[in-house]
């Protein structure tokens, strides 16, 4: 528990200054349920490996549904990574997922292209 104390204090100070803190790729690698308990968080991002098969694999469907429910019950914004189809998006909307990102919306763009797209949207 002590080893997490400095990180938790640092994250709390950042949040007090308006920085939002997210757990990226939740469910994979070093992210774990203990992060939800030990650190002050704002956002939970579901790893794309779970999203790829949400409409085809009952196991992934259950995992994604559970992560969304868990995040929302902890008052965290939940973002699904790796959305690639309208079917994926519809499924996530039915589960009340807060946000989604992925190739369905756009492939990666340069900073210059992003600024251009942003200007077009705001005009």
Q: Which residues have a catalytic role annotated? A: 81
Q: How far is CA 6 from the centre of its chain?
A: 24
Residue with tokens 């991002």: 45
Instruction: Please report the DSSP string for 69-120 in residue order.
Output: HHHHHTT-EEEEE---SHHHHHHHHHTT-SEEESTTT-----HHHHHHHHHH
As beta bridge partners, residue 26 has 46
Cα angle value 96/67/105 (rounded, 5°) = 55
């Amino acid at each position: 528990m002590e080893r997490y104390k400095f990180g938790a204090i640092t994250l709390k100070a950042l949040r007090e200054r308006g920085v939002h803190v997210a757990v990226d790729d939740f469910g994979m690698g070093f992210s774990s349920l203990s992060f939800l308990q030990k650190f002050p968080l704002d956002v939970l991002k579901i790893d794309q490996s779970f999203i790829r098969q949400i409409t085809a694999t009952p196991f992934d469907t259950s995992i994604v549904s559970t992560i969304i429910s868990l995040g929302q019950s902890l008052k965290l914004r939940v973002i699904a990574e790796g959305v690639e189809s309208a079917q994926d998006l519809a499924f996530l909307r039915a589960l009340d997922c807060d946000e989604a990102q992925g190739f369905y919306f756009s492939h990666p763009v340069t900073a210059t292209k992003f600024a251009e797209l942003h200007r077009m949207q705001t005009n």
